Structure 1
Amino acid sequence: MTSAPSQLPPWRPLLKAAQRKEGRSPMSRWLQLATVASDGSPRVRTLVFRGWREGSTLELFTDARSTKVEDLAGEPRAELCWLLPKARCQFRLRGVALKLAPETQQEREQAHWMQLRPEGRALWGWPAPGQPLEATAHFPSAILDGTPTPDSFALLSLEIHQVELLELTGSPHRRRRWIANNGWQVTDLNP
């Protein structure tokens, strides 16, 4: 679900325009999620952008058995880096993982699960990520329509509080920041 255009933060149209420049490249939907593990060490992994809920809440899918879920439960603050090479820009989105009411979480996960293609659902039928590979492990290539949402399927909702855009065109480069608690007013920064 996306908010009406008049409710969008001012950086959202810039992000959408940059994504369009990527064309059909899957890179237009790949972003890196940085979290902090329970031992205080940093973790970064690549996820696929799935959509927006409201003006500044980003949705991602993950395997509930992955360590990023545990990381975000212990420290919900996170940052995303979204590099769009054809647009020659980088968005850094800082925010917090939302803890939704269990019934809301389940409802949203089920709705997203049903929208995935059978081949896209296959990942959540694979063995737990990061565990030792067993010779007899089964990796399905599809999970058919009508299959209930597995416990391994998790929706991450990240409420974005700050965005920085670095545009790598021209010299000098251009860098800007928007912060939610000041009404998304833009501040120009040194690149």
Structure 2
Amino acid sequence: MPLFMGHIYTYKPNYLEILAGIENQHVLQVPLVPPGVLTDNDDSKCVTVTMTIAMDTVWADSNDHDPSFGISDGERFIGFYLLDNRITNPCYKVEGDNVNNVLTNRVHERSDAKLSNPSQGYSSEVKIQIKPCEKWGSCHTEHEGGFVFIVNYQRNLDLTKGLYLEVYRTHAGEIYRIKYITVNVGMD
């Protein structure tokens, strides 16, 4: 069951719209694995989370639109910013702590690779993979035949607390239109 943070969303026929709010706000949390299922005493905590995200690209191309998608243990978050302005690249690494429903102590990193055609629109589909036990993640967009950014995270997630899909707003005025998110949690 999705847990929406306050009344900050509305359902439309073709998408979920997350309304404007405060900067770095925690706007969506969906439980993936309940607390206590993954333990520190065995290898079951080595999971790979694969998510595919589709946004309303017409909206994303014409508005400030930089959501962060990733996973958390309810307190620490690791994932990617999906950027609307592709002067450098379409996704950045981001990690931080959820303090009072705001992403704090953020660490972010961008790739040194640059798109040769940065005016190409917002990717119609983004694939993110994260392996929390290896502190590894990748972001793949459709730009220029496939833009891939592979990162290493600093934060360790405590998966005994559960595993959650989370979304954070970057700037206060941003509105997001999510067509779909598919998530697969695979055991290594």
Task: Name the TM-score class by shorter chain.
Answer: under 0.3
Q: Which has the larger radius of gyration?
A: 1
> Which structure is higher in strand share?
2
Relative to the length of structure 1, the TM-score reads 0.24
Structure with larger RCO (C-alpha < 8 A, sep 6+): 2
Relative to the length of structure 2, the TM-score reads 0.24
> Which structure is higher in helix share?
1
